[in-house]
């Protein structure tokens, strides 16, 4: 059974947003990122948590200096990330996660997550982090929170190239949506790690 956060029925997160979640080709893959950035900004302004997206890692090859105040990068390349995209601090704990959109409805392709990122999630988990992966099934309008070690263990042992949607229904938790906090993942963190405070 999928876990619904308190007070959030499936109809709320899944059905009512289908139409508003349709994306143009250009924005594809960016919507989840934008939603998470907006949520993080809200957390920051409320002083609930300090969590940022890391800049995209690039290799800079050539920089022009038309004048000192506006150096212009004229040749650079994207690098394979060695860590996850997001980290920060919440209630004194180190928090670390990766976020991925999934365009198919039946399963999540494992190759979407780099081996470096899996290794990184395992490492921070070993050191005591709250580590997780956010996976959005775009067409289903479902955004899941999955504990990192559950997912990396499955990836290591499943012998498959993708994780079935059913697995997320069983092991994941749907993340509640609100206008100010479109991906309110700290609600799930509270349920999993700070129950005594609620």
Does 55 engage in binding with a second copy (CB under 8 A)? yes
Does 30 engage in binding with a second copy (CB under 8 A)? no
Does 47 engage in binding with a second copy (CB under 8 A)? yes
Q: How far is the CB of 6 from a second copy (least distance, A)?
A: 25
The token duo for 81 is 């990330």
Binding a second copy by CB under 8 A: which of 7, 66, 77, 179?
Answer: 77
Cα dihedral 56/59/65/69 (nearest 10):
30
Does 86 engage in binding with a second copy (CB under 8 A)? no
Q: Which stretch binds a second copy (CB under 8 A): 26-34, 54-62, 157-165, 172-180?
A: 54-62
Binding a second copy by CB under 8 A: which of 15, 76, 160, 166?
Answer: 76
Instruction: Kindly tell me which of 128 and 159 has the beta carbon lying closer to a second copy.
Output: 128
C-alpha–C-alpha distance, residues 116 and 121, integer Å: 9
- Can you say whether the dihedral through the CA atoms of 84, 192, 92, 179 is positive or negative? positive
> Which regions of the chain does DSSP assign to beta strands (E)?
49-53, 58-64, 72-78, 86-90, 93-102, 107-109, 130-137, 142-147, 162-164, 173-174
C-alpha–C-alpha distance, residues 142 and 78, integer Å: 29
C-alpha–C-alpha distance, residues 39 and 36, integer Å: 5
Binding a second copy by CB under 8 A: which of 75, 153, 166, 170?
Answer: 75
The token duo for 120 is 């990184």
Does 115 engage in binding with a second copy (CB under 8 A)? no
Does 50 engage in binding with a second copy (CB under 8 A)? yes
Binding interface with a second copy (CB under 8 A): 44, 47, 49-50, 52, 54-58, 60, 70-79, 82-83, 87-96, 120, 123-124, 126-129
């Amino acid at each position: 059974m999928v876990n619904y956060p308190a007070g959030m029925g499936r109809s709320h997160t899944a059905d009512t947003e289908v139409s508003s979640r349709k994306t143009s080709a250009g924005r594809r893959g960016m919507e989840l990122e934008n939603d998470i950035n907006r949520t993080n900004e809200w957390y920051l302004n409320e002083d609930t948590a300090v969590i940022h997206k890391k800049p995209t890692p690039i290799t800079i090859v050539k920089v022009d200096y038309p004048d000192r105040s506006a150096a212009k990068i004229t040749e650079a390349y994207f690098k394979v990330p060695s860590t996850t995209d997001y980290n920060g601090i919440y209630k004194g704990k180190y928090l670390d996660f990766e976020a991925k959109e999934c365009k198919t409805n039946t399963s999540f392709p494992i190759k979407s997550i780099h081996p470096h990122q899996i290794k990184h999630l395992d490492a921070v988990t070993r050191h005591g982090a709250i580590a997780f992966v956010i996976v959005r099934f775009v067409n289903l309008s479902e955004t899941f929170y999955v504990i990192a070690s559950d997912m990396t263990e499955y990836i290591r042992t499943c012998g498959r190239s993708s994780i079935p949607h059913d697995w997320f229904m069983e092991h994941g938790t749907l993340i509640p949506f609100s206008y100010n906090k479109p991906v309110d993942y700290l609600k799930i963190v509270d349920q999993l790690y700070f129950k005594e405070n609620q």
